[in-house]
Structure 1
Amino acid sequence: MPPRSSHQPRAGTYIPYMAFIIFSAIFVFRLDVFVTQTISTARRNQELKYEITTQEPSPPTVIKNENATFYKHVLVTWGEFHTEILNDGELLKLTLDKHSGSGFQSRKQLLFGKIDMQIKLIPGDSAGTVTTYYFSSLGDHHDEIDFEFLGNSTGNPYTLHTNVFSQGKGDREQQFFLWFDPTADFHTYTILWNPKTIIFYVDNIPIREFKNLERIGVPYPKDQAMRVHSSLWNADDWATQHGLVKTNWTLAPFNAWYRNFSMDGCIWSPETRASACTDADFSTRRVLKMELDRRSRARMKRLQKKHMVYDYCKDKWRFPKGPGRECRMN
C-alpha cells in the first residue's frame, strides 16, 4: 500500500468549489422559475392553433342524456378525436399522443362564480406533459386564473402551478407539491372568484388567496367574463427539468380524466353584454360574498409552509425592487 501523504489540503482550497456548487444550484432554481413563466404563453399559443369560434354551436346531434354534465356544459375546442365523453356524459377523457393533444371549454361564461372539477392525472412517467384547468377571457389584455399540473418522470412529484392574470399581466406564480398522489384517484380542484377575493382549493382545502386590493393600485379581474378551459398538451421543450427530460412517446397515449364538473355564479350574456346577477345577489348569494375566515386562513398558511415550493412574493431575483403591493396583504 503506498504511503499516505502527510500533506493535507487546506480548507480554503475547497471554497471555490463550494461557491461554484452553490451558484449552480441557485442558477438552476432560477432557470426553473423563468421557464414556468412561459407556461401560459406557450399554452395559449398551442391552443390558438385549434381555437374555435366563441359562438355557441348546435349541440351534438346524438346525445344519450340531455342533462349529462359534459354534453350540456362543455365544448371540445381542439383535438376532437382525442377527446371522449363517457358514462352518459358524466366522465370526460383528454388524450395526448405524438400527433395531438386536446382541450375543451365551458359553453357559458361567468362574471364571478365558483367552479369545481374532479381530475385524475396521468400516472407513471408524465414528463413533458401539461394538464390545465383554468378561467380565462380573450384578448391581449385578458384575465386568467390558473391551475396547471406539470408532469414529471416516474417517482418524482407533479408541480401544481397557480397564477392570476389581470389585464394581461401575470407574474404571480405560486407552486406546490401535493400531499397525495394525484394520479391514483380523482381529487377536487376549485376556483372561487368573486368581487372580494380569488381562492384556490384542493379537496376543499384552501391553498392560495388573492384579494381584491384595487384600493392600493393592484389590478383585479372584475370586468371581463371568463370561460372555464382545460387541456392536455406536450411541452417537453421546457416543462420537465428545463426540457432535459423529454416525453416518452412509447408510453402514449397519455390520458387525463375529468368528472363532477359544476359552475355556480353569474352567467354573462355576450348578446346583451349583461350579467344574470343583480345587486341583491351580491349581498345574498354566498358564492358571491364569501371570503376566508381566520381559521381557514390559518389552515392555508400551515399548508403553504409545508407544501409551497415557490412564491413570487419571496423572489428577490426576479423582483429586485420588491414584490407586488399585494404581497403584503395576501
Structure 2
Amino acid sequence: MSGLLCFLLCLVMVGLANSAKFDELFHPAWALDHFIYEGDVVKLKLDRYSGAGFASKSKYMFGKATILLKLVEGDSAGTVAAFYMSSDGPYHNEFDFEFLGNTTGEPYSVQTNLYINGIGNREQRLNLWFDPTKDFHSYSIFWNQRQVVFSVDETPIRVHTNMEHRGIPFPKGQAMGVYSSIWNADDWATQGGRVKTDWSHAPFIATYKSFEINACECPATVAEVDNAKRCSSGENKKYWWDEPTVSELSLHQSHQLMWVRAKHMVYDYCSDTARFSVMPAECVHHHH
C-alpha cells in the first residue's frame, strides 16, 4: 500500500509542480470584460460585441507550451479558438493551433499553420478523434533547433523539421510569446464560410486550465542573437530541449503521427496542387 500511496503522492506533486496559475504566466490582452475567472479555471467569452484574448508576460526561445482547453459546446459554427506562439514584426515566426467551430454533431476540426519570416500558407487540417467540448484536452507546441511539434494529448499531429541544410528557412532566431484567443471568423471558419455564426447561441465560451510553459525565458532587454545563444546548450549548461531524445520523434511517436495523418487529416497544403503549382520546398523533403 505504501508504494501505491507514494505513487499517488508523486502524481500530486508532479501536478503541482508542472502547471502554473493563469496570472503567473499570462495577462488578458484585450476585452477584459469577456474573461470569467472560476478558481483555477479561466473562461473566454465570445458574443456579437467582442471576443477575447490573453498573452504571456514573457517571451521564450525553445521549449514547450501546453494548455488544457475545453472548446465551445453545441453549435459553435463561425467561431475560432486559437492557441499559438508568435514573435513580433513583419517577418515574424508563428506556430498556430486554430480550433474551427461547427454545427452541432459535426466533428471539430483543428487547423495548424506555421509562419516563417512572415510567410504562412502552411495549413494542415484534421478532425479530432474525440469530442473536445466534453472535457479538457491538452494542446502543446514543442520547439527546438531541430523541429517544431504540435501535439494533442501528447500525440504528435504535426512535425516541421529543420531543413536549413537544404536552403529552407527554419524559425529559430526570434523569441516568441504564447497567446490564446476566441473570435468570430464566420467568413471562413466553418465549411469555408458557408455556415455563419448563430448569435442566438451566444455567448460562446472556451474554458482553460493548467497552464504550463517549460521553456527558455528571454528578457526584453537582451538582443535576439544573444537570446539564441543563451537558450542553447553549451559546455556549462545543458537544456532538456537539446537532448538527443527530443531531436526527433521516437518510433512510437512516428507511428502515432502516421495514424493521425492516415485516419484524421482532411487537408494538407503539401497536397494542394490547385493552390501551389510548384510544391513548396519543405513538402518535397518532408518524409512524414
Q: TM-score scaled by structure 1?
A: 0.76
Partner deviation per Cα, 1:181-226 (whole Å, 9 max, x = no partner): 0000000001100001001110011111100111101111111110
Cα-Cα RMSD: 1.8
| 1:85 equivalenced with 2:42 (yes/no) | no
Once the two structures are TM-superposed, the CA of residue 170 in structure 1 deviates from its matched residue by 1.2
SS of 1:284 mapped into structure 2: coil
Task: Tell me the distance in 2 between the aligned counterparts of 1:68 and 1:241.
Answer: 36
Equivalent runs, 1:20-59 vs 2, <5 Å: none
Task: Tell me the distance in 1 between the aligned counterparts of 2:25 and 2:174.
Answer: 20
Q: Which has the higher contact order (CA 8 A, sep 6+)?
A: 2
Q: Which residue of structure 2 aligns with residue 132 of structure 1? A: 82
Q: Which residue of structure 2 aligns with residue 150 of structure 1? A: 100
| 1:286 equivalenced with 2:236 (yes/no) | no
- Structure 2: which amino acid aligns with 1:300? L
Task: Tell me the distance in 2 between the aligned counterparts of 1:300 and 1:78.
Answer: 35
Task: Tell me the distance in 2 between the aligned counterparts of 1:327 and 1:135.
Answer: 26
Once the two structures are TM-superposed, the CA of residue 93 in structure 1 deviates from its matched residue by 0.6
Richer in strand (by share) = 2
Partner deviation per Cα, 1:289-310 (whole Å, 9 max, x = no partner): 4121233212211221000111
| 1:116 equivalenced with 2:52 (yes/no) | no
Q: TM-score scaled by structure 2?
A: 0.86
Q: Which residue of structure 2 aligns with residue 318 of structure 1? A: 275
Which of the pair has more CA radius of gyration?
1
Q: Which residue of structure 2 aligns with residue 306 of structure 1? A: 263
SS of 1:168 mapped into structure 2: coil
Gaps of 5+ in 2: 1-18
Q: Which residue of structure 1 aligns with residue 180 of structure 2? A: 230
Task: Tell me the distance in 2 between the aligned counterparts of 1:84 and 1:286.
Answer: 35
| 1:262 equivalenced with 2:262 (yes/no) | no
Equivalent runs, 1:93-112 vs 2, <5 Å: 93-112=43-62
Once the two structures are TM-superposed, the CA of residue 287 in structure 1 deviates from its matched residue by 2.5
Residue of 184, 193, 196 corresponding to 2:146: 196
Partner deviation per Cα, 1:220-263 (whole Å, 9 max, x = no partner): 11111100010000111222123222111111111000111100
- Structure 1: which amino acid aligns with 2:286? M
Equivalences, count: 262
SS of 2:212 mapped into structure 1: strand
Task: Tell me the distance in 1 between the aligned counterparts of 2:176 and 2:285.
Answer: 27
Q: Which residue of structure 2 aligns with residue 221 of structure 1? A: 171
Q: Which residue of structure 1 aligns with residue 11 of structure 2? A: none
Task: Tell me the distance in 2 between the aligned counterparts of 1:287 and 1:163.
Answer: 22
Once the two structures are TM-superposed, the CA of residue 269 in structure 1 deviates from its matched residue by 1.0
Q: Which residue of structure 1 aligns with residue 25 of structure 2? A: 73
Which runs of structure 1 show a deviation greater than 6 angstroms over 4 or more consecutive aligned residues?
none
Task: Tell me the distance in 2 between the aligned counterparts of 1:282 and 1:174.
Answer: 39
